[in-house]
Amino acid sequence: MINMSAWLPDLSSEKQEATIEHKPVMLEEVIKGLNPGPGKVYIDGTVGLGGHSAALLRCFPQIKLLIGCDLDPYALEQAASKLAPFQKKVRLIHTNYIEIPHILEKESIGPVDGILLDLGLSSFQLESPSRGFSFRRDEPLDMRMNPNTKVSAADMVNNLPVAQLIELLKNYGQERWASRIAYAIDRERKKRPILSTKELADLVFKAIPRKRHPRRIHPATKTFQALRIAVNKELDNLSEALRTLPDCLKPSGKLVIISFHSLEDRLVKHAIRNDSRLTPLTKKPITPSTIEIDQNPRARSAKLRIAERVEDANEGGTHEH
């Protein structure tokens, strides 16, 4: 029996106030893509609240081992509770998914049969108090998935030079009003620090001309996305994972990735297409059904891509990125 407490951080000093209902995205498609079977080993690199992993273990109890990783210790605590019935087959580790190669080496596990990355922000993170991911409430401007990370969104907003703020908003938020927003931030922070989500959201709202406000999303959505990506180094981590994870798969092992915006999906698409270690199994990304979107509106932007490790580990020579 695995002692799961040995793999989890100590959260005794800070507990989340509420457990948020969690709906894993494209559950059936993910399980089918992983191609589960008896004696197989899987890694959920973004285990979150454990929704995908729990379903996988429930449907295929003969799986040998599932390793779940997550940067967010509070989500990981919830996952431990959800996965408790399967704890003999589960290891939960508080770490970034880019550490998967080191975990497999350290535990002498070797290549696995499937790896899942769900790159979305969970309802738990959006709705949890004091995390600063959402502009719907007035919270500290934080956005760190791992609270041990040194730099918060407030640090970036108040300290980055204007030119870097503009670049950040353009590159990570695809925000056409990046310059106006950055200069508005600079004017405000010279008066007093910008420390709350509401302060920043209101500032962005006013910086973008009213007639140019997007119809379907809040004007601050792209700014918040850009800051969250930067704070958590999301695109850097994904690029690193796409470079190293194919070598963590057995021949015919599956790499299943759910992305939620075009920057992520573009990285995944090109990496799979140009990597001689992988064969794409999805010509175009799989998207949620209309029924799923109706039941879980946050799934609407999800895109699922699946690739398979080539049979011969040396086939095709070097890989490109």
CA 25, CA 42: separation in Å to the nearest integer? 18
Take residue 62 and report the two structure tokens written for it.
Answer: 């003969």
The total number of residues written for the chain in this structure: 321
pLDDT at 130: 72
pLDDT > 70? residue 10: no
Residue 284: other Cβ atoms inside 10 A: 9
pLDDT at 316: 42
The per-residue pLDDT for range 88-115, each reduced to its tens digit, is: 999 999 999 999 999 999 999 999 999 9
DSSP structural state of residue 312: S
Q: Give the pLDDT band (50/70/90) at residue 126.
A: low
CA 268, CA 282: separation in Å to the nearest integer? 12
Outline where DSSP puts E strands in 151-260: 249-259
pLDDT at 307: 98
The per-residue pLDDT for range 165-223, each reduced to its tens digit, is: 999 999 999 999 999 999 999 999 999 999 999 999 999 999 999 999 988 889 999 99
pLDDT > 50? residue 237: yes
pLDDT at 274: 96
Question: Tokens 């938020």, residue?
Answer: 173
Using CA atoms, how far residue 318 sits from 116, 234, 264, 313, in Å, is: 24, 26, 24, 11
Range with the lowest mean pLDDT among 18-27, 44-53, 80-89, 151-160? Answer: 18-27
DSSP structural state of residue 140: B
- What domains appear along the chain, each with residue ranges and CATH number? 4-125+235-309 (3.40.50.150), 133-232 (1.10.150.170)
| Packing angle, helices 221-232 and 197-207, rounded to 10 | 130
pLDDT at 123: 63
Outline where DSSP puts E strands in the chain: 41-44, 65-70, 90-94, 112-118, 249-259, 278-280, 303-309
CA 102, CA 280: separation in Å to the nearest integer? 25
**What backbone torsions phi and psi does residue 120 show, to the nearest 5 degrees?**
-80, 160
Q: Give the pLDDT band (50/70/90) at residue 17.
A: very low
Of 1, 52, 78, nearest to 302 by C-alpha is: 52
**CB hemisphere CA count around 200 (13 angstroms):** 32
pTM score of the predicted model:
0.87
pLDDT at 215: 85
pLDDT at 124: 65
Is the alpha carbon torsion for 146, 151, 155, 156 positive or negative? Answer: negative
pLDDT at 1: 28
Q: Give the pLDDT band (50/70/90) at residue 319.
A: very low
pLDDT at 122: 65
pLDDT at 19: 44
